[in-house]
Amino acid sequence: MKRFLIGQYGSFDEQKMERDFRDGFYGIEACLFENESDTQKLLSASRARGFRIGVHFPLRAGKSLLRDALFLDADKHVRDEALRLIRDELDYLRNVRPDYVLFHYPKPVILDDRVNWDKWHFSDRTEYVYDSDYSLEMFAERSDQLFAWLSAASRDYGFTPVLEFDALNSYIYEHDVLEALLKKYPDIRLCLDTGRLFLQQNVDPFFQALPIIRKYAKYAEVIHLWNLQYTKSSVRLRYPVLPEQRPEDGWAPIGDYLAVIREENPQVKIQFEHRSDLVSREDLQRCYEWVDECLRSTHPS
């Protein structure tokens, strides 16, 4: 379980720390802290318990209207402002010394015109464009510029840049543009989010999650692990993964996902991005133990 992380979002929650964290866990991924005192609590706990820190950009809340940096925007001024915000945050993070800093990608999200995205959450209209207005050539050029910038920043500041897939279109799953960039800029790593991938599979008839996991797991620094139950009447989000969650009941096939991840990248980190309060302490421990078993064995029970 030395690869496992928990999340701390909005503040450093002592109760969540006591409930979710285990001695020997790799670390904590932190995001959107409201107060400087929470950063100091995180640093103190890290020193006392010997864990590492990852940052889900931004660590500090309230620095911009949107959480995510729109670094692929069509407007150069918007792209430049996004990079300025990132640089400002990296300056602040020098004292935190995170192992990695994670950004949602692509941003703005490039949506497939053929798909109904009503069930995908966006905070603002500026967070997405449609692929009819954003060409593959534009995506490739601006992604190359972003990767070059992040690679240079990673050397300047001493962190691993991690790009977490947001909603994806055919530029990612039918073309080799991104894979070529990951090979060109090996300092850049990915985050695969199991819940997001399964949700897209349910809303997008052109998308399948497992091939994406198989294609990109080798480039992943961290997996955001949680489950959702998708049925005609409801969607249950951020649920801890458990072995009894059956695909025929609307759950993601987490065991299959983890088997592929184990084959492609046996050392990847696992961040439990779930609501642990939805299950008992006993079931939370079962979640940890089952995931650990899945990552160690080709035939988990």
d(CA 60, CA 67): 10
What three-state secondary structure class fits 224?
strand
pLDDT per residue over 247-273, tens digit each?
999 999 999 999 999 999 999 999 999
**Prediction pTM value:** 0.96
Domain spanning 62-274+284-296, CATH class: alpha beta
Distances (CA, A) of 4 to 47, 83, 106, 284, 292: 17, 30, 26, 13, 9
- Single-letter amino acid, residue 41: K
Confirm if 89 and 58 have CB atoms less than 8 A apart: yes
Q: What is the pLDDT of residue 298?
A: 55
pLDDT per residue over 184-239, tens digit each?
999 999 999 999 999 999 999 999 999 999 999 999 999 999 999 999 888 999 99
DSSP 75: S
The tokens 């931004």 sit on which residue?
58
Is there a cis peptide before residue 247, judged by omega within 30 degrees of 0? no
Confirm if 274 and 240 have CB atoms less than 8 A apart: yes
d(CA 123, CA 137): 27
- Which of 131, 114, 106 has its CA nearest to residue 205? 114
Cross-strand pairs, 223 = 192, 270
- Single-letter amino acid, residue 261: I
Q: What is the pLDDT of residue 301?
A: 44
What three-state secondary structure class fits 101?
strand
Distances (CA, A) of 9 to 12, 57, 85, 224: 7, 11, 19, 14
Q: What is the pLDDT of residue 176?
A: 96
- Which of 97, 33, 104 has its CA nearest to residue 72? 104
Give the largest Cα separation in the chain, rounded: 53
Domain boundaries, the chain: 1-56, 62-274+284-296
d(CA 300, CA 258): 10
Residues of the chain with pLDDT under 50: 299-301
